[in-house]
Amino acid sequence: HPVGATGVAQICEVVTQLRGEAGERQVEGAKRGLTQNMGGTCASCVVHILEVA
């Protein structure tokens, strides 16, 4: 996959869900979202937890 693009796409989807703008993909009552992505040859791992303020 393109370097960095997977993680960015995950963040975009979670933000869209938390804003209630996901249309047919919308998870009802979404208040928190989690993304996870591996970097390099799995030498690094990044996890984001996002929450509605």
pLDDT for 47: 96
Contacts of 26 (CB under 8 A, 6+ apart): 17, 20
pLDDT of the residue at 38: 86
Which of 16, 39, 20, 40 has the alpha carbon at shortest distance from 28? 20
Domain ranges within the chain, ordered by starting residue = 5-51
Q: How far is CA 7 from the centre of its chain?
A: 7
Q: What is the pLDDT of residues 8-47, one digit of tens each?
A: 999 999 999 999 999 999 999 999 999 999 887 878 899 9
CA angle centred on 2, ends 5 and 13, rounded to 5°: 25
pLDDT tier, 1 (very low <50, low <70, confident <90, very high otherwise): low
Determine how β-strand 32-39 pairs with β-strand 44-51.
antiparallel
